[in-house]
């Protein structure tokens, strides 16, 4: 596997889950891979039986097991070139700025809907792939891609707060987004993701889940105000797991699968479900229009198509995952989860404004 960004870590743990993440880690700073680096392969009705050359994967930070990529390379002879992004908005902006070198991208549910609407994804019909039959029926019928014409399911999870109980004695007092944003805590890290941060700020100021796409400006002013006093040491999706594991960071807004991996290395870390609610997301493989290696992309999607959306994979789950309340959402916390809504343009712009103001004030 070749990584176009600087590799910072190689630790990983991976297993499939019915209500959890299948995750692994290799992080780094994103760099552009603009421009097609390999000759285009034609999309055909037939599933490609073999491939050669490369497949350019543009994925979330810390989201695929390097060993899986090595296995894919060994079995297919196709080299994987990995580049990473930190948010759906970064992914969208990158493609819209003309980056045409990616074969596989991994947008979340709401972004899949946006990208289909923008005509950015190739219609591939994953159900017709050799491994398509293993996709569990409930993952076929999804609002953002009915019938799975454009995407294949990858993994799903939530975004909450990771806290080191040893280094931050007040972890137990952090019960909400509001507590986090107003508590003036030391050694805080956050993800660099405008939808995650701004939706959490809206929730912290009393906006209910069903109203997260509001266009009421007053609500965004309130979100901006609560964020004004929130000054994390680091705002960066990259390297956050390591900073928590080593104790450099004490608190972090965090994806639950990442928090699980942190805990495996450092048992003092807990995952907090904020009382105002938290985002439930799912991510999906797609082949962008203009991908230079469409056939290799199909072979890759088919190969790595075993995951939590795949029938029977829950049996494969390790006990450490099954027993982690940050991974398997406890009954009493289930009502706190809500999907990230696909907001209209006006709300999206308001999110961008709040996020940019907050970043600029750091």
The nearer residue to ligand N2P, 255 or 355, going by C-beta atoms, is 255
The nearer residue to ligand N2P, 23 or 212, going by C-beta atoms, is 23
How many residues sit close enough to ligand N2P to count as binding (CB under 6 A)? Answer: 11
Q: For the chain, count helices (H), then strands (E).
A: 11, 11
Output the CA–CA distances (angstroms, integers) from residue 177 to 115, 198, 227, 328, 355, in the order listed: 30, 11, 10, 21, 16
Return the residue of 24, 41, 90, 108 that touches ligand N2P, per CB under 6 A.
108
The nearer residue to ligand N2P, 239 or 305, going by C-beta atoms, is 239
Q: Which residues contact 88 (CB under 8 A, 6 or more apart)?
A: 107, 108, 110, 111, 193, 195
255 binds ligand N2P (CB under 6 A): yes
Output the CA–CA distances (angstroms, integers) from residue 361 to 43, 61, 87, 237, 302, in the order listed: 47, 25, 20, 19, 44
283 binds ligand N2P (CB under 6 A): yes
Tell me, residue by residue from 165 to 204, as one string, x for binding to ligand N2P by CB under 6 A and - for no binding. ----------------------------------------
281 binds ligand N2P (CB under 6 A): yes
Strand-strand pairing, 151-164 and 269-272:
antiparallel
Smallest distance from ligand N2P to CB 308, Å: 13
Strand-strand pairing, 234-235 and 278-286:
unpaired
What are the backbone dihedrals phi and psi of residue 240, each rounded to the nearest 5 degrees, phi first? -65, -35
The nearer residue to ligand N2P, 11 or 47, going by C-beta atoms, is 11
300 binds ligand N2P (CB under 6 A): no
The nearer residue to ligand N2P, 63 or 102, going by C-beta atoms, is 63
Helix%, strand%, coil% for the chain, nearest 5:
35, 20, 45
62 binds ligand N2P (CB under 6 A): yes
Q: Which residues bind ligand N2P (CB under 6 A)?
A: 23, 60-63, 108, 255, 257-258, 281, 283
């Amino acid at each position: 596997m070749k990584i176009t960004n600087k590799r910072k870590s190689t630790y990983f743990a991976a297993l499939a889950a019915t209500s959890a993440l299948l995750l692994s880690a290799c992080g780094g700073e994103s760099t552009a891979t603009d421009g097609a680096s390999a000759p285009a392969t034609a999309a055909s009705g037939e599933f490609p039986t073999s491939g050669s050359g490369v497949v350019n994967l543009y994925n979330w930070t810390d989201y695929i097991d390097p060993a899986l990529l090595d296995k894919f390379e060994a079995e297919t002879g196709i080299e994987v070139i990995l580049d990473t992004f930190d948010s759906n908005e970064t992914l969208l902006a990158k493609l819209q700025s003309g980056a045409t070198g990616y074969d596989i991208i991994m947008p979340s549910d709401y972004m899949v809907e946006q990208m289909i609407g923008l005509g950015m994804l190739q219609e591939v019909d994953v159900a017709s792939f050799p491994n398509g039959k293993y996709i569990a029926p409930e993952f076929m019928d999804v609002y953002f891609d009915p019938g799975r014409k454009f995407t294949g399911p990858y993994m799903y999870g939530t975004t909450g707060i990771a806290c080191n109980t040893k280094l931050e004695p007040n972890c137990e007092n952090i019960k909400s987004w509001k507590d986090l944003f107003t508590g003036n805590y030391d050694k805080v890290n956050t993800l660099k993701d405008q939808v995650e941060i701004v939706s959490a700020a809206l929730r912290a100021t009393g906006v209910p889940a069903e109203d997260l796409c509001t266009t009421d400006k007053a609500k965004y002013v309130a979100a901006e105000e609560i964020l004004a006093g929130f000054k994390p040491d680091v705002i960066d999706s990259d390297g956050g797991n390591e900073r928590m594991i080593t104790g450099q960071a004490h608190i972090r807004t965090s994806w639950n699968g990442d928090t699980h991996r942190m805990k495996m290395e450092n048992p003092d870390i807990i995952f907090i479900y904020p009382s105002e609610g938290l985002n439930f997301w799912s991510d999906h493989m797609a082949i962008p229009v203009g991908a230079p290696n469409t056939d290799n992309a199909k072979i890759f999607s088919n190969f790595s198509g075993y995951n939590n959306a795949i029938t029977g994979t829950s049996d494969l789950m390790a006990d450490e995952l099954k027993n982690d309340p940050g991974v398997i959402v406890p009954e009493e916390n289930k009502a706190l989860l809500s999907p990230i809504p696909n907001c209209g343009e006006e709300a999206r712009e308001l999110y961008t404004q709040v996020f940019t103001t907050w970043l600029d004030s750091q």
